[in-house]
Copies of this chain bind each other. A is one copy, B any other.
Amino acid sequence: MTTQDLIAQIRKKKSFLCIGLDPDLEKIPTYLLSEDDPIFSFNKAIIDATHQFAVAYKPNTAFYEACGRKGWKALSRTIDYLNSNYPEIFTIADAKRGDIGNTSSMYAKAFLHEMGFDSITVAPYMGKDSVEPFLQFRDKHAILLALTSNEGAFDFQTLETGGTQLYKKVLEVSRTWENAERLMYVVGATKAEFLAEIRKIIPESFLLVPGVGAQGGSLEEVCKYGMTKDIGLLVNSSRGIIYASETSNFAEIAAAKAEVLQREMAVQIANI
């Protein structure tokens, strides 16, 4: 998907909501467990109920890998379902991959080509040749970890180096890589005040922002410091939406939660 298509969808739906599909067999409604593929059934119900309020879905691959082959099958079925039924939706494989060049190429092929995701999250530690293979696909995107939403983000990402901080260095250096216009960045909502600094380095890039909701970030703050004239944000919510209820009407409740966020987002978009 092109960035322009993503922006058009955001404007149409008045939403920049990304829903994290992190299905945990211990948290999904128990009646689904008797189904042949409970994870896919859960995802399908969530997607069907929430798609009008969301512009992106982000399966975190860990939750699928934890279920072995069945999980991998559920992930394939989920991306196929999204691509077949809601082709306007932007899809993100939240995989945080990154390896030497030929290995990154394998991951890129797996997620962007074979499975057909629009994008994949990528870790920066191994540098240029570990990320560029993810940028070789037209209309596909790599979403590079810059400043994450967890406590451990302060262990290394904010270390001072050469008059700046590591996460800013990651932003600066990554802009010089081949096909850098296909890069987006992960910036945690729990550090919204950092967004003003980040926008000085990457004024227009899309940011994937986790940490609103369960992790305590504020949507208003994120928009204040991070929004661009073309929105430039995908704000993710996972647990706050998909596990809002464990009853048989979990999908309806998830939709209601997603709608609340969408309406807050519509206000923010109107304020640009």
- Residues of A that sit less than 8 Å from B by CB: 22, 24, 60, 62-63, 65-69, 72-73, 76, 94, 96-101, 103-104, 106-107, 109-111, 114-115, 123-131, 145, 148-157, 159-162, 166, 169-170, 173, 210
Report chain B residues within 8 Å CB of A68. 72, 76, 110, 114-115
A145 contacts B126, CB within 8 Å? yes
Docked Cα-Cα span, A103 to B69, in Å, equals: 18
Interface centre among A100, A101, A210 (most CB of B within 10 A): A100
Docked Cα-Cα span, A194 to B22, in Å, equals: 40
23 contacting pairs across A/B (C-beta < 8 A)? A60-B106, A62-B99, A62-B110, A65-B107, A68-B72, A68-B114, A100-B210, A123-B123, A124-B155, A125-B145, A125-B148, A125-B156, A125-B157, A126-B145, A126-B148, A127-B152, A128-B155, A155-B173, A156-B173, A159-B166, A160-B162, A161-B166, A166-B166
Report chain B residues within 8 Å CB of A157. 125-127
Report chain B residues within 8 Å CB of A111. 65
- When all copies of this chain in the complex are counted, the total is 2
In the complex, what's the smallest C-beta–C-beta distance from A109 to chain B, in angstroms? 5
In the complex, what's the smallest C-beta–C-beta distance from A190 to chain B, in angstroms? 11
Report chain B residues within 8 Å CB of A99. 60, 62, 94, 96
Assuming A65-B110, A126-B150, what are 14 further A-B pairs, CB within 8 angstroms? A60-B103, A62-B104, A65-B107, A66-B106, A66-B107, A67-B110, A68-B115, A101-B150, A125-B156, A125-B157, A159-B162, A159-B169, A161-B161, A166-B166
Report chain B residues within 8 Å CB of A94. 99
Interface centre among A109, A128, A150, A161 (most CB of B within 10 A): A150
**Of all chain B residues, which has the CB nearest A173?**
B155
